[in-house]
Each structure stands twice: as C-alpha cells, then as structure tokens.
Amino acid sequence: MLMGEMEDLIELAKRRGFFWQSFSIYGGFSGLYDYGPLGSIIKERVYRAWKDIYMGLGAIEIDTPSLTPDPVLKASGHVDRFIDMAVACTQCRTRYKIESILSDKGVDAVPQNVDEARKLMDGLDLKCTRCGGKLGEPFEHHLMFMIDSQGERMYARPETAQGIFVNFRLLKNYNRDRLPMIVIQQGKGYRNEISPRQAIIRQKEFNMAEVEVFLDPDVNGAFTPTLQEEIHMHDMDGKDHFTTLPQALEKNIIKSPDHAFFLEITYRFAMDIGMDRERLRFRQHRKDELAHYSSDCWDLEARINDSWLEITGISDRGTYDLSRHHGASGEKLYIDGTRFARVIEPASGIDRIIASLLASSMYKRESGYSVLKLKPEIAPYPVALLPLQKKDGLQEKAMEIYGKLKILEPYAYYDDSGAIGRRYARQDEIGTPYCITVDYDTLEKDIVTIRERDSMEQIREVNVDQILSTKGFLNNPVLQAFTVKK
C-alpha cells in the first residue's frame, strides 16, 4: 500500500508541509507524526465540516481529559479486553499483529486469545518480512499506554467516548431529559500500536472525532435515512450491494433506521469535504471482529490503491457502556428508573480521513505537475496573490493589494518566488483553487487576472475593488463566472 498513491502522498506531504515524521532530527520515531502549516489548516477545516453537520442536527459538544483513571476503563472493558494478539521475530524482535499476518496469507480471522492465534498460525509458513527470521509464539499485546502517578493508575485514553458516557447524567440534565441526545467530542486518542505504519494512517497518537447518539431503547426509528443515492455496501458475508440506505433497510441489509441514518450522515460528511464517491464503501464487521461493546458495526472505508482503509466506524453500542458504568460507579445512569439509553456511535479517525482525501484528490497533469483537486472550502489557502515580476513596482502594488485582501480573507497567501508558471504549479500542487495575478495592467488600470486551478482558465480585467468587495474570498461574486463555465 505504500507504493503508488500513498508513496506519492507522503513525498508531497513532507515537501509541501502537510505532515512529516515527528522528531526527525533524532531519526524519527514510529507512530508519531506532525502536521505542518498546510496540514494544520486542513485538519481544522475537516474538523469544522464534521462539527457543522452534527451541530445542524442539534448536537451538544463537550471536552474531557485525555487521561482516564483505571476504574473508568476497567468498567468499560478496555483494561481486560483492549488487547491484540501479537507475535515477534525471534531474530530482529520486530512485532506483528497476528490478524495482519494472517490476512497476508489469505486468512480472514481475528483470534480472540493466544490459543486461537496458535491454531490459526499452525501450518502457515510465517516469516519476518524485515529479516526473514522465524516468528515466535503468540502473546497478548495491550493497546493502552499506562501511567502510574503516585500510585494512581491512569491510561492515555484509547477513545474519547468514555468521557461522554461518564457524564451522561449531567448531559441529560443539561438537555432537559430529552432524547434523542447527540453528544460530540473531538481530540487526541492514544493506542500502543504493535506496528505503526503508513504515515498518519496508523499512529500511536491520533486525532479523533466521536459522536454518541443516546436513544430511547423502545423507540426504533427516531431517525430515518432519506438519501436516494446508491452506495456500495459490503456485508459481513462478503456480499456487495449497490443500494440506497432506505432500500438497504427494506432488504434487511441493515437492521435499524437509526443506524442507517448515521451511515447517511457519515456519507454526507465525506461528500461535503470532497471525498471521491467511487472510492468509498460501507463494510459490515464480521462477528469475530466486533469490538467488545458493539453488536453491529459498519465502517466507511476509502480505497487507496487497491486497499480499503477504515476512516469512520458507525457502531451500535446498545446499552453496554451506560449499564457498565452504572454498575461500577453506583451512579444512576437510567433514563427513567430502570431503562438505559441505547447508543449509536459514529467514530471518525481524522488523520485517516485527511490521508484518504489527499490521496484521492491528487493527480498529475500531462505536464507532469501534481495537482490537489481539493474543494475550495477545504483547501489550505482559498486564494494566492502573485505579482507577475518583482520589478517595475509590481511587487509593491501586489503587497498593497495583499494587505487589503488579508483583512477580508485571513487565509490568503502571497507568493513572489520564481517564474509565474512555476508559482501557478506550486499553488496547484497544494490545492489553492484561485490565483490572482498582478501585472502591468494593474499599475495602469487597477485590474487583475484571476486563474482557476482545475480548468486553468482565467478571468481577465477584474477590477481590484471587485476582489476586495466581500469578506471571505470564496464569497466573491466574480467567481461565479468560473462556476457557470463548469
């Protein structure tokens, strides 16, 4: 998977400042990546699009600590069950997730314990991909980072969800006891990955956006899907369906209207940020790969090269979490005396979404130059201002216009380095949808040229006052000329 698209993406990301390996001056450390200047902007734009779609549904947002005490994660089942089966090379000591090495051999199974792992490995010629050495005996690998603070055991949270569940009573009071109740939280998650790899796709510290939808357990269909668009769905039996979500409900491919609705919201979010619909599918978890808290789960997956990558999991957690915390804490987490709320959880990996979005947006022109076909609302810079040359007062005039534009469009960018053609190519490569060129006509007539990234078409003789007429460059009416042409 690191060949082709992903390899090209990693090279572009490092060179242009989207993301790069952390602590690189010390040789870098696996599973840790920094977002550079452009990646940081995209990350915030993706978070904003995610938040906007849920706030539009009436969601409430909270922010809870990254450190979680042992009793909380003991009650949730993570301490005892958040474990992968692993194996290590007897020579170089490289560790592997057994599920992954079985998959490489065509075995689709997730061992639940050491004995199962040993049986599944038996008879397979498994060797270390790094040195060719023999793989040893399977063992349990705990996925949480433990911190011992003056005798008090805590963990770096593996998910943000538990911070929401333990606040259920307070949130319910805040929401005036109304259900459904949608609670969102974004932030860092931490997992002691066996073999972190593929840049920001599998990390030890990662960015999450999780939603907990609390429902009355006796009301099936508080939400129902309406999207009349065929979607690729791959069920737990390996069958592919191309169907709308309302039809998937009728055909019993998915059981719950509420679950189907949040598949729809997840899909709409992916479309909002510009994901390629041809590269998306929903895949249902097999019974042997469901998390301990889940009765059913559909992943939205994105295709990079010929591999499918989970970017959002939409899980039916039932009443598992609230009932567990109710029993362990003694706090009454009922909704009305004896009943617990049922929970649907869309949980998104923001880093994986960004990697998938960038990979699917990247293409090469016949000239050989790379382009990121990002939606203008997601691109790091909506507009770049470029003087044709640095002489004859063009640079000074460009800086004068840029200073005024920056007040109205804080994310405007200025570039005067190199030939104008190379600067266009550089802006195309980082996804900038529009470039404004200041030339000699600007000095004489106070007009500029606007160039659009995808078509490379230009609107000439645009008055400077026109580009300074609206707050937020993407709201400028002059851009409608490009829209009409498209």
- Those residues whose C-beta lies under 8 Å from the C-beta of residue 450, and which sit 6 or more positions away, are 434, 435, 436, 437, 458, 459, 462, 467, 478, 479
pLDDT for 485 equals 52
Tokens of 478: 């002059």
Q: What confidence tens digit (pLDDT) does each residue in 103-151 have?
A: 888 898 889 899 999 999 998 989 998 899 999 999 999 999 999 988 8
Residues 174, 178, 180: CA angle, nearest 5 degrees: 115
Which pLDDT score is estimated for 484?
56
pLDDT at 1: 35
Query: What pLDDT, on the 0 to 100 scale, is given for residue 427?
Result: 98
Question: Rounded to an integer, what distance in angstroms lies between the CA atom of residue 408 and that of residue 411?
Answer: 9
Q: What is the pLDDT of residues 321-346, one digit of tens each?
A: 999 999 999 999 999 989 999 999 99
- The DSSP symbol for 286 reads P
Domains and CATH numbers, the chain: 5-80+145-359 (3.30.930.10), 83-142 (no CATH), 372-485 (3.40.50.800)
SS3 28: coil
Q: Are 319 and 341 in contact (CB under 8 A)?
A: yes
CA gap 43, 35 in Å, rounded: 8
Element (H, E) at 443: helix 440-445
3-state secondary structure 60-112: EECCCCCEEEHHHHHHHCHHHHCEEEEEEECCCCCEEEHHHHHHHCCCCCCCC
Distance CA 436, CA 420 (A): 11
State the pLDDT at residue 311. Answer: 98
Asked whether the beta carbons of 6 and 178 are under 8 A apart, the reply is no
- How far apart are the C-alpha atoms of 236 and 484, rounded to whole Å? 44
Q: What is the mean pLDDT of each run of 10 residues along the chain (486 residues)?
A: 75 96 94 97 98 98 98 96 93 92 88 93 90 93 93 96 98 97 98 90 96 96 97 97 98 96 98 97 94 94 93 97 97 94 98 97 91 97 96 96 97 96 97 98 97 96 96 95 67
Per residue in 199-221, pLDDT (tens digit) is: 999 999 999 999 999 999 999 99
pTM recorded for the entire structure: 0.94
Q: What is the pLDDT of residues 44-58, one digit of tens each?
A: 999 999 999 999 999
pLDDT (0 to 100) of residue 105: 87
**What's the full length of the chain, in residues?**
486
Cis peptide before 69 (omega within 30 of 0): no
In contact, 17 and 187? CB cutoff 8 Å: no
Determine the Cα–Cα distance for residues 461 and 447; give it in Å rounded to an integer: 5
Report pLDDT for 2: 40
